[in-house]
Amino acid sequence: MYFFDIWAKKIAAGDWLTAHSLHAYPEWTMTTAEDYFRIYPEQRPVFQKMVPPGSADRDARHELWDKWYCAPCLHQEPAYPYMVALTYRLLGPDPRYVFIWQSLLGVISILLIYFITLRLFDNFTAFIASLLAVLSGPLLIYEGILLRDSLITPSALGLVAMIILSLPERKPAWHFLTGIGFGFTLLVKAIFMPVVVIQAAFLLFRNGRLSRQSVFGMVFFIAGVALCLMPVVVRNIYVGAPPLSLCSANAFSSTFINSNAADSAPNHGYCISRHFARIMGITNGRSVPAVMETLKTHDSIASFLRLMWGKWTALWHWYEQPNNANFYYYRLHIPVLACLPITFFILSPLSIVGIIIAVRDFRRRWPLYLVWADVFGILMVGLVLARYRVPFQALLIPFAAWTIVSATDALLTKQRGFLSVILITVCAVSLWTMRPLPASRPLIRCADYSAVYSAYYSRYALAAIQNGNWNMAAKVLYSSLQYEPEIVRQMGPARPAKNREEASLAELYAQVYQRIAEALQKAGNKPEAEHHNLRSKELQSVKDQFNLQSTNSAKSIN
Query: How many angstroms separate the CA atoms of 154 and 104, rounded?
Result: 10
Counting Cα atoms < 13 Å in the Cβ hemisphere of 361 gives 11
What confidence score (pLDDT) does residue 108 get?
97
Q: Are 10 and 18 in contact (CB under 8 A)?
A: yes
Residues 6+ apart with CB under 8 A from 357: 402, 403, 406, 422
3-class state of residue 21 by DSSP: coil
CA dihedral angle for residue 500, residue 502, residue 508, residue 512, rounded to 10 degrees: -160
CA dihedral 33, 38, 40, 41 (to 10 degrees): 110
Which residue type sits at 272?
Answer: I
Instruction: Give pLDDT, residue 27.
Output: 86
In angstroms, the CA 320 to CA 307 distance is 19
Peptide linkage before 72 cis (omega within 30 of 0):
yes
Q: Which residues contact 250 (CB under 8 A, 6 or more apart)?
A: 68, 69, 70, 280, 285, 286, 287, 290
pLDDT at residue 249 in the model: 64
pTM equals: 0.92
**Complete DSSP assignment for 65-93:** HHHHTTTTS-SS-SHHHHHHHHHHHHH-S
Taking alpha carbons only, the member of 249, 269, 257, 356 closest to residue 311 is 269
- Closest by CA position to 93, among listed 157, 154, 11: 11
pLDDT at 53: 85
Provide the pLDDT for residue 270. 81
For 49-80, letters b (16+ CB in 10 Å) and e give: eeeeeeeeeebbbbbbbbebbbbbbbbbbbbb
Residue among 319, 270, 272 nearest 438 (CA):
319
**205 phi and psi angles, rounded to 5 deg:** -120, 35
Percent helix, strand and coil across the chain, each to the nearest 5: 75, 0, 25
Local confidence pLDDT in tens for the 558 residues of the chain: 999 999 999 999 999 999 887 888 888 889 999 999 999 999 999 999 988 887 778 899 999 988 888 888 899 999 999 999 999 999 999 999 999 999 999 999 999 999 999 999 999 999 999 999 999 999 999 999 999 999 999 999 999 999 999 998 888 899 999 999 999 999 999 999 999 999 999 998 887 777 888 899 999 999 999 999 999 999 999 999 889 899 886 778 888 999 999 999 888 878 889 999 999 989 888 889 999 999 999 999 999 999 999 999 999 999 999 988 899 999 999 989 989 999 999 999 999 999 999 999 999 999 999 999 999 999 999 989 999 999 999 999 999 999 999 999 999 999 999 999 999 999 999 999 999 998 878 899 999 999 889 889 999 999 999 999 999 999 999 999 999 999 999 999 989 999 999 999 999 999 999 999 999 999 999 999 999 999 999 999 999 999 988 887 766 666
> Using an 8 Å Cβ cutoff, are 155 and 199 in contact?
no
pLDDT at 170: 87
The reported pLDDT for the residue numbered 551 is: 81
For 3, 32, 72, 241, 251, the CA distances from 68, given in Å and listed in that order, are: 18, 12, 11, 13, 9
Residue 500 contacts residue 445 (beta carbons within 8 Å) = no
Query: Which 3 state secondary structure label does DSSP give 325?
Result: strand
Residues 6+ apart with CB under 8 A from 182: 159, 162, 192, 195, 196, 199, 221, 224, 225, 228
Contact 294, 264 (CB under 8 A): no
